[in-house]
Structure 1
């Protein structure tokens, strides 16, 4: 799947970017600055004046506050010095989506192309966490801009509740009505708190605010005859080794 993929919070992906020739401009303890090979300067940008350089993080296992970094250099930073030629890219990495934002008009960043989409991801083994107030780190993970010129490739490995769409309303096996806002973000219309998610199988009631058609209703019913919400969560956790993210809320854990 490419940049036109319909990303959703909870998606488990394999993310990669081919390694491309570049040059080191500066090397620090926790980052390496590179001549970025994929973007051009935006001459019409009024707020940002990009200098053609991007700094990528250097993994420091002892520092739990380090922002997760997807990009790597070849050779690794410990074998580089300022002015050295190297390559930069993303080896195939399993990650899960924690946030999706769209921009219309496109976001002004100082470089071209201007991004229309931002997708935050965390590598396997990491979960959303809260950082101290006033910090510069973003606990939702590494932000990608599919379609901004970087030749990412995305493979969808697992999508929990792929048979539902955000906003769908369903009835569960216990007779409760729910709205699906995301795989870990359910709203019970009765206001009850006895369960955080519906009991399978599910009956689709509405889609897009209208009574559902027979075909999608049949798909949802068939997909939820076997399995359970708990089983879906267990499969997702097995693939991500992480805690799930809800809209605007998350289990605070980073490993």
Structure 2
């Protein structure tokens, strides 16, 4: 699984729930059209449009600030401290196997049961146990909300 936070590498894939900081260094720019109280059209020396493309020459950086449940992947199955079994399909997409609603989410610590439908390795199980030894699902949600100023949706 990728690192929890830090500068992104070219081979990393973004996941639902990732919190990113995208920055571009200060650069002198030219105002193309008149300035009003709510709009200005600026021409950057490297580019004039969107989206960001790593090969377009714009010197931007992307930093991964938070990846909720970086130690889990879609399809992983876990047992929580309350004895419930869950399928993880994303940080805000938890499906309990007992037919009850998800409520406040899984209770930590978690025990990895399977990884994508196959038995998990001891190393993967230890990583999940260590990642959920302290804290809670609700603390993860609150931290994500404080960074994004948004509310997760399933």
The question of a shared fold, defined as TM-score above 0.5 by the shorter chain, is answered with yes
In the alignment, which of 73, 81, 102 is matched to residue 173 of structure 1? Answer: 81
- The corresponding residue for 2:107 is 199
SS of 1:32's equivalent in the other structure is strand
- The corresponding residue for 1:185 is 93
- The corresponding residue for 1:79 is none
Distance 1:146 1:173, change over 3 A: farther
Q: TM-score, normalised by structure 2?
A: 0.76
- Whether contact under 8 Å (1:11, 1:158) holds in the other structure is yes
- The corresponding residue for 2:22 is 15
Cα RMSD over matched residues?
Answer: 2.6
Distance 1:146 1:11, change over 3 A: farther
More strand by share: 1
- Whether contact under 8 Å (2:77, 2:116) holds in the other structure is no
- The corresponding residue for 1:6 is 13
User: 1:199 & 1:2 partners in 2: Cα distance?
Assistant: 30
Distance 1:190 1:146, change over 3 A: farther
- The corresponding residue for 2:67 is 159
- The corresponding residue for 2:42 is 34
1:163-184 CA-to-partner distances (Å, cap 9, x unmatched) read 2122222121222221212212
Is 1:227 matched up with 2:146? Answer: no
- The corresponding residue for 1:145 is 52
Runs of 4+ in 1 over 6 A off after TM superposition: none
Give the number of aligned pairs.
145
User: 2:54 & 2:9 partners in 1: Cα distance?
Assistant: 5
Distance 1:22 1:157, change over 3 A: same
- Whether contact under 8 Å (1:171, 1:178) holds in the other structure is yes
Distance 1:164 1:192, change over 3 A: same
- The corresponding residue for 2:31 is 24
Distance 1:194 1:15, change over 3 A: closer
- Whether contact under 8 Å (1:2, 1:152) holds in the other structure is no
